[in-house]
Amino acid sequence: MRKKRIVLQIPVAYNGITSCVVTLREMEKKFFDILRIVQKNPVFGKTLMCGGMLDEKRMEILYEILYAIDRGELTDTRNDIFQYGSLIGKKDLLARQIFLCLLILLDEQEQMIRK
């Protein structure tokens, strides 16, 4: 009886996980679109810095990382991402999310190059 309940719960759990993955991918796409806007529009980036969301050093490193990934120059990019991560404060959730997304973006670019 217990096995039957567990087996019946598997599709429900799978659907929940699939829904979370789809939502995460949609959020990731929106986030990368925001990063591209910041990359193309320095005024928007300055506004973020003035709002205390990003400091100038992290913003410079972020620009370097995004340009390197965009050009396919991935050699030192992972080190730059971790340098960016080392500058994140304890409560800076936006910077932590950017850090994780940069690692994901780099991994995706490296996988594309390997193929």
Q: Where are the domains positioned within the chain?
A: 27-114
Say what the pTM is. 0.55
Residue 4 has pLDDT above 80, yes or no: no
| Each residue's pLDDT tens digit, 25-67 | 676 677 677 777 777 777 766 666 665 556 778 878 888 888 8
Q: Which of 75, 66, 74 is nearest to 101 (CA)?
A: 66
* Mean predicted confidence (pLDDT) in 63-76: 82
Which letter does DSSP use for residue 54 in this model?
Answer: S
Going by pLDDT thresholds of 50, 70 and 90, the confidence category of residue 104 is confident
Residue 99 has pLDDT above 80, yes or no: yes
87 neighbors 61 (Cβ within 8 angstroms)? yes
